[in-house]
Amino acid sequence: MNYFAHGLRFVDQPYVLAGTAIPDWLSVSDRRVRMRENAVMPFRDDSNRMTADLATGILQHLDDDQWFHRTRVFVETCGDLANLFRNLPEMDDGFRPGFLGHIATELLLDGVLIETQPELIDRYYDGMAGVDADFVQATVNQMAKRPATNLARLIPRFLEEQFLRDYVEPSRLLFRLNQVMRRIKLKQLPDSTIDILRSGRDIVQARIDSLLPEEHFATKPTQQGTTP
């Protein structure tokens, strides 16, 4: 799961919402910093509500990933998209279609969710805008073994770029996907990838209910002041 799938249920709880994004933010800003369940859990009952909400969001993210990545439909969808990527004629032996199948599944899932619930993407960013980035970094540093040093600078850029909106349109999604490829030093994907992303979106759309089953994932946002 990616940012929007993790967070859309918590758009009215800014610090829970931010907590759902923290593991993904750290993968960009401070790649050696990890959120571990046993280290985060004690903060869920912290007397400071913002700290407790951040911990709740982080734990939600970790729980989401634990069940989501193990589902048969996710594995099958990643495999189907990986096979589509293997058809790209321009790629060399260093090409990683399995990785692309995984990440494209998650980004396309965000795109489908944004397209089907467009009002929530505005509420998502509005909620994030109410978060104190310095407080988020300081709280993460209480939970993590290694200190995060770049997280507070990343959060305003995340809000400014609002790149999740690009996941709805295949050409803009390709641009964002190539940003990821550049960051991890892999070859840029060609324009013909747009057709693969269109086909992949149809696959994800058709499986949306299976990818996000009701027993694990309620697509309606929680009401302000409630804790999942």
Give burial (CB, 10 Å; 0-12/13-18/19+) of 11: buried
Tell me, yes or no, whether 39 lies in a domain: yes
Tell me, yes or no, whether 12 lies in a domain: yes
Tell me, yes or no, whether 218 lies in a domain: no
Amino acid at 3: Y
Tell me, yes or no, whether 224 lies in a domain: no
pLDDT at position 92 is 66
pTM: 0.91
Per-residue confidence in pLDDT tens, the chain, 228 aa: 999 999 999 999 999 999 999 999 999 999 999 999 999 999 999 999 999 999 999 999 999 999 999 999 999 999 999 999 988 876 665 678 899 999 999 999 999 999 999 999 999 999 999 999 999 999 999 999 999 999 999 999 999 999 999 999 999 999 999 999 898 888 889 999 999 999 999 999 999 999 999 888 875 444 443 333
Listed residue (71, 57, 75) closest to 15, CA to CA: 57
pLDDT at position 215 is 84
CA dist 192 and 181 (Å) reads: 16
The residue ranges of DSSP E strands in the chain, in sequence order, are none
Tell me, yes or no, whether 226 lies in a domain: no
Q: 177 in helix, strand or coil?
A: helix
Overall number of domains in the chain: 1
Tell me, yes or no, whether 207 lies in a domain: yes
Domain coverage including residue 23: 3-211
* Residue 115 to residues 24, 38, 72, Cα–Cα distance (Å): 21, 36, 25
pLDDT at position 88 is 84
Tell me, yes or no, whether 14 lies in a domain: yes
Cβ contact 4:21 at 8 Å = no
Residue with tokens 């002041």: 225
Tell me, yes or no, whether 220 lies in a domain: no
pLDDT at position 224 is 40
